[in-house]
């Protein structure tokens, strides 16, 4: 069976996009990521009471909103004041990228988006450390984390989690690219590709491969990167246990 197409991959949630489980992926040492431990999603601002109940019944005990504070002010998270789950806001971009422009003008959209991700991982490393601390410190499993579309910020967190679990790089990149299918992104027209910022809608395997390659080159890999941000080996081991055991 194609693990990406596993029938449990996408959750039956009607009022949020791109909701899928990170379970069911085989690791390099033959283990398998567990279901109902880590769920990635698009934003939950219109999540119906029925779908909220579905997530809770699925085992979600902690919801992490990766959106910017200014996004949350306009569209609050439905779980922000919930007594049924623990809610955390870890604003990944903050205001650090308000004036961001593509670092290189003469490269492909794939490379431009990877440049943004690499800058985000460096400038927001302390936020990524906070996210990992939330995963590690909780006595529960059952996390749902999301941004707006569930592609960029969410995609970076998912890629790091799958790397910690030991999932093959090719699978991690394919999981990232799967957002295109879940969000209904077809191949952009040539006209669309010429629009300012068009690269931001991309979702190719190559983008994530370049991003993870950057972490390899600069930090010796995902765990080296997280260690540089202050995430302890014990916390990484605890997260790995939640993913696999």
Provide the token pair at 116: 């943004």
What is the DSSP code (8-state) at residue 99? Answer: T
pLDDT in tens, 90-103: 999 999 999 888 77
C-alpha to C-alpha distances, 116 to 159, 203, 222, nearest whole angstrom: 15, 13, 17
Answer whether 3's CB lies under 8 Å from 171's CB: yes
pLDDT tens for each residue of 188-220? 544 544 555 678 888 999 999 999 999 999 999
Total number of domains in the chain: 1
Alpha-carbon distance of 80 to 88, in angstroms, equals 8
pLDDT digits (tens, 9 = 90+) for 30-73: 999 999 999 999 999 999 999 999 999 999 999 999 999 999 99
Average pLDDT taken over every residue of the chain = 93
**What is the per-residue pLDDT for 106?**
76
Domain of residue 29, CATH code: 3.90.190.10
Domain that holds residue 214: 3-244
């Amino acid at each position: 069976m194609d693990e990406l197409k596993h029938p449990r991959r996408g959750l039956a949630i009607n009022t949020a996009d791109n909701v899928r489980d990170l379970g069911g992926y085989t690791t390099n040492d033959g283990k398998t990521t567990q279901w109902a431990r880590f769920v990635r999603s698009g934003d939950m601002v219109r999540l119906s009471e029925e779908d909220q109940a579905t997530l809770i019944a699925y085992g979600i005990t902690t919801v992490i909103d990766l959106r910017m504070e200014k996004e949350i002010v306009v569209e609050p998270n439905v779980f922000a004041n919930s007594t049924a789950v623990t809610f955390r806001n870890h604003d990944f971009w903050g205001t650090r990228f308000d004036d961001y422009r593509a670092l290189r003008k003469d490269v492909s959209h794939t490379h431009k988006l990877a440049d943004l991700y690499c800058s985000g991982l460096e400038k927001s490393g302390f936020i990524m450390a906070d996210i990992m601390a939330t995963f590690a410190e909780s006595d529960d499993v059952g996390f749902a984390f999301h941004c707006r579309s569930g592609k960029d910020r969410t995609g970076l967190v998912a890629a790091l989690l799958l790397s910690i679990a030991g999932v093959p790089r090719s699978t991690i990149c394919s999981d990232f690219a799967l957002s295109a299918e879940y969000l209904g992104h077809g191949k952009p027209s040539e006209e669309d590709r010429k629009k300012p910022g068009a690269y931001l809608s991309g979702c190719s395997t190559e983008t994530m491969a370049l991003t993870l390659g950057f972490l390899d080159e600069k930090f010796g890999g995902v765990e080296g990167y997280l260690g540089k941000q202050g995430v302890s080996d014990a916390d990484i081991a605890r997260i790995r246990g939640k993913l696999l055991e």
